[in-house]
Amino acid sequence: MEFKETDLPGIGKKYSITTSNGDKIVTVIHLTGKREIFYFEKDDMEDPLCDIVLNEEEATQLGSILTGTYFKPEQEKLQEVLVKNLAIEWVKVPLDSPLANKKISELEIRKKTGVTVISIIRGEETIINPLPDEIIKPNDTLVLVGTREQIEHFIKEFKINA
């Protein structure tokens, strides 16, 4: 794709895009707010195959459609919902915690709360995807993933002072 911007003194600006298949789209934005869009096929760069005139509101609407802010495919909507419900929390393990000096499997964290321990930060060391037999030590920082409710349940269940 090739992009070119040109000042048009007294008129506005011209933006040209040459697509991957060689066609060209030219947009002229006038100082008045009017937009003109011209479409040229690669075989005829002299005469546009079509042209469209839009006012500022129409151009904004078209732009939001093209960038996906107006309409989002279902898969994208689903991903947004999933990310909105996702919570990641860093929790420091106190010395007197019921978590201290116990294996992850022994604590049944996921079974009891729905939370998954995705990492343990121990001093300068980071244990990513800790195994079930990993022992949680006092002063470890656990990186947890779950819903906000599951994280809150974890904090209550294991008596963490958040």
**Domain range annotation of the chain:** 2-71, 82-158
CB atoms within 10 A of CB 126: 12
pLDDT band at 82 (very low <50, low <70, confident <90, very high): low
pLDDT of residue 74: 55
Q: Which of 105, 116, 96, 103 is nearest to 158 (CA)?
A: 96
Q: How is residue 33 written in tokens?
A: 């707010």
pLDDT at 80 over 60: no
C-alpha triplet 131, 132, 138: angle, nearest 5°? 90
pLDDT band at 106 (very low <50, low <70, confident <90, very high): very high
- pLDDT at position 71 is 55
**pLDDT at position 42:** 86
Selecting from 3.30.870.10, 3.30.70.1450, 3.20.20.70, 3.40.50.720, what CATH number does the domain 82-158 have? 3.30.70.1450
Give this prediction's pTM: 0.50
| SS3 label, residue 156 | helix
Residue 22 DSSP one-character state: S
Amino acid letter for position 122: R
Q: How far apart are CA 156 and CA 22, in angstroms?
A: 61
The amino acid that residue 133 corresponds to is: D
- Is 60 exceeded by the pLDDT of residue 20? yes
Average pLDDT for 65-93:
67
Task: Supply the DSSP symbol for 134.
Answer: P
Residue with tokens 């269940």: 157
Residue 87 above 70 pLDDT? yes
CA 139 to chain centre: 32
Q: How far apart are CA 84 and CA 89, in angstroms?
A: 14
Closest residue by Cα to residue 139 from 122, 153, 151, 156: 122
pLDDT of residue 35: 92
What is the mean pLDDT of the segment spanning 48-75?
A: 77
Which tens digit of pLDDT belongs to each residue from 110-150? 999 999 999 999 999 999 999 999 999 999 999 999 888 89
For the chain, the residue count is 162
